[in-house]
Structure 1
Amino acid sequence: MKLIKLTAVSAAILGSTAAMAADPIVVVDDNDTVAYPVAAPAYQYNQDAGIVRNTTGAVVGTTKTLFNTAINPAAVSAEIGTLGYGANIAWSMNETTELQAGWAGGDVSDIKDDFDVDDINYNIDDADFSNPYLGVQMRPAANWFTVGAGIIVPDNDFEVTASAEGPNFRIDNVDYNSEQVGTLSGTLEHRNDLAPYLTVGFRPNISDKWGVFGEVGAAYMGKADATVRSSNPTQIVRVTGGDEEFVSGAEVARRAERELEDKDWLEWFPIVKVGATYRF
């Protein structure tokens, strides 16, 4: 009988991490009294009597507490930015650190509709983004200032069309007659399967439940794979400022493609986002 009671007490001790009391446990077995200098859950321990009354309840109660902590987040947020529209869930590790899991994506052409590569402006016709991420949000000074870091799993595709500056497409300081080249269009896709990111920002609270935030930073997406096509691939195009006098429209597209893949804006993808947070 004593062995059974001692085993039950041991299980209660192992399960008591959610709520601890500092006084020793005393187990009464007939005329024997055994003292154990360990803590027990406050709601299972009778401080006046010094006896654990319900060791089974201690184990079950602790398991429920751990389960509820795991499934109940500290906050949920909605966001919009260069990575797309999204949301995240945060769990508090301590007063200054939160673990975040989220997703941002969608058609970002609604958010950003063009970008420049040297002297060519590219219109974003369509952008199918998917950026699940896992990170840590820290408040180093325990105030509104934040630093975030983590990993993105990017799956981002662009469809773009080039706009000529004046009568020419300028690629690597060489001009190509835009009328002869025709339309330059193409696709872009990031190469990295994992992209580390770093942000700084602010997260002031506007009430006891609601807050807002803004963040800026960058993610290392790696080089981009580009495909650029000319609508006049066999057309002879006049060249101004280079070593050649004429090239084909397809060659102009290949040179634009190489320039796109070398663009740092695609390798170090900027992160700019704003949003709102609800805390539980």
Structure 2
Amino acid sequence: MKLIKLTAISAAVLASTAALAADPVIVVDNNDAVVYKAEPVAVAYQAEPAYAYNSDAGIVRNTTGAVVGGTKTFFQTAVNPASVSAEVGTLGYGANIGWSLNEKTELQAGWAGGDVADLFGGDFDANDINYDVDTDFSNPYLGVQLRPTGNWFTMGAGIIVPDNDIDVRANAEGEGYYSIDGNKFYAGNATLDQSLAEDFGGDNVGNLEGSIEHRNKLAPYLTVGFRPNITNNFGLFGELGAAYMGKVDANVRYTGEGGNVVAAQDAARQAEKDLEDKSWLEWMPIVKLGATYRF
């Protein structure tokens, strides 16, 4: 009888364990009843996802998890930017969109452009000749903003794709001459009689004007700045830095008809050399201010 009891008890315990917390098992021996309650021997744990997307802030908390997790997170991040900003500065007037990769890293894509020649003074000198400048900037860029200390201090780096039109026009000085390579060239109307220019001791070449273009098709940049938050959604920012635009190629022509054509061509070629040696804005300073709205 004892053997039968032990066999029944063992079978009941095994059955309850397999069922993981099934109903209590009752074993009856004559008038005695014994209740055995099986305890679960295994606990199932649910794995947490490798990444979490915060739809309010547009933040991927774990970029590695996002890579493993699939393209849905990338799509959600792309269509849910963390911020939009408006800016004005030496690159022009523009805006950018930011995507937060984490609390300290933000990817930015933006554009800045327009006529900003006055921000650089509107003119410059190249080998004793003063040039007026007109600009039409177009500077799309892609960069990363870092908050290395987790506060308002920022560091930025990226690439600009410059497409900037820069027109120049030489200004005559003194009695109306350009002084180029030690020679005097009369800057009046090229249709004037050459003898008039000779009376002033030089050749009549008309007006010298043209354009310059930076050689770099991709311009790396670095900045430091500040980005304090004014409210939960609004903030301000300022940045200082520089972009390497490279040396310039110049194209200078003389305007008008008549005069000394050979002298005018020589003056234009020498002016081109002077402008390329000057390499105006080879290192373009970056100074910008703006406001940001965060979603």
TM-score above 0.5: yes
**Structure 2 vs 1, CA of residues 163 and 40 (structure 1 numbering), >3 Å: closer, same or farther?**
same
Give the TM-score, by structure 2 length.
0.65
Name the structure 1 match of 2:268: 253
Please report how far the alpha carbon of residue 84 of structure 1 lies from its aligned counterpart in structure 2 after TM superposition.
1.6
Please report how far the alpha carbon of residue 36 of structure 1 lies from its aligned counterpart in structure 2 after TM superposition.
6.0
d(CA) in 2 for partners of 1:173, 1:200: 44
Name the structure 2 match of 1:117: 125
Q: Percent identity?
A: 63
d(CA) in 2 for partners of 1:129, 1:221: 13
Please report how far the alpha carbon of residue 169 of structure 1 lies from its aligned counterpart in structure 2 after TM superposition.
2.3
**Structure 2 vs 1, CA of residues 263 and 233 (structure 1 numbering), >3 Å: closer, same or farther?**
farther
Q: Secondary structure at the match of 1:70?
A: helix
Mean CA deviation greater in 66-75 or 78-87: 66-75
Question: Which 5+ residue runs of structure 2 have no aligned equivalent?
Answer: 1-17, 21-40, 50-68, 189-203
The structure having more radius of gyration, on CA atoms, is 2
Q: Give the alignment of 1:1-280 within 5 angstroms.
A: 31=19, 39-40=47-48, 67-109=75-117, 112=120, 114-118=122-126, 119-125=128-134, 127-167=135-175, 168-171=177-180, 175-179=184-188, 180-231=204-255, 235-236=259-260, 248-280=263-295
User: Aligned residue pairs: how many?
Assistant: 223
d(CA) in 1 for partners of 2:210, 2:232: 49
Question: Structure 1 or 2: larger strand share?
Answer: 1
Please report how far the alpha carbon of residue 89 of structure 1 lies from its aligned counterpart in structure 2 after TM superposition.
0.7
Question: Which 5+ residue runs of structure 1 have no aligned equivalent?
Answer: 1-29, 42-60, 238-246
Please report how far the alpha carbon of residue 136 of structure 1 lies from its aligned counterpart in structure 2 after TM superposition.
0.8
Q: Secondary structure at the match of 2:170?
A: strand
**Structure 2 vs 1, CA of residues 259 and 152 (structure 1 numbering), >3 Å: closer, same or farther?**
same
Residue 230 of structure 1 contacts residue 250 of structure 1 at CA under 8 Å; is this kept in 2? yes
Give the TM-score, by structure 1 length.
0.68
d(CA) in 2 for partners of 1:190, 1:64: 41
Q: Secondary structure at the match of 1:262?
A: helix
Please report how far the alpha carbon of residue 171 of structure 1 lies from its aligned counterpart in structure 2 after TM superposition.
4.0
d(CA) in 2 for partners of 1:81, 1:64: 37
d(CA) in 1 for partners of 2:254, 2:225: 42
Residue 232 of structure 1 contacts residue 249 of structure 1 at CA under 8 Å; is this kept in 2? no
Residue 188 of structure 1 contacts residue 225 of structure 1 at CA under 8 Å; is this kept in 2? yes
Q: Could you list the per-position Cα deviations for residues 13-71 of structure 1 after superposition, in whole angstroms to 9, with x for gaps in the alignment?
A: xxxxxxxxxxxxxxxxx948976666235xxxxxxxxxxxxxxxxxxx99766543332
Instruction: Please give the root-mean-square deviation of Cα atoms over the aligned residues, in Å.
Output: 3.1
d(CA) in 1 for partners of 2:256, 2:234: 55
Write the letter of the residue equivalent to 1:270. Answer: P
Please report how far the alpha carbon of residue 194 of structure 1 lies from its aligned counterpart in structure 2 after TM superposition.
1.0
Q: Could you list the per-position Cα deviations for residues 103-145 of structure 1 after superposition, in whole angstroms to 9, with x for gaps in the alignment?
A: 11233347556231333332223x3322111111122333322
d(CA) in 1 for partners of 2:47, 2:182: 75
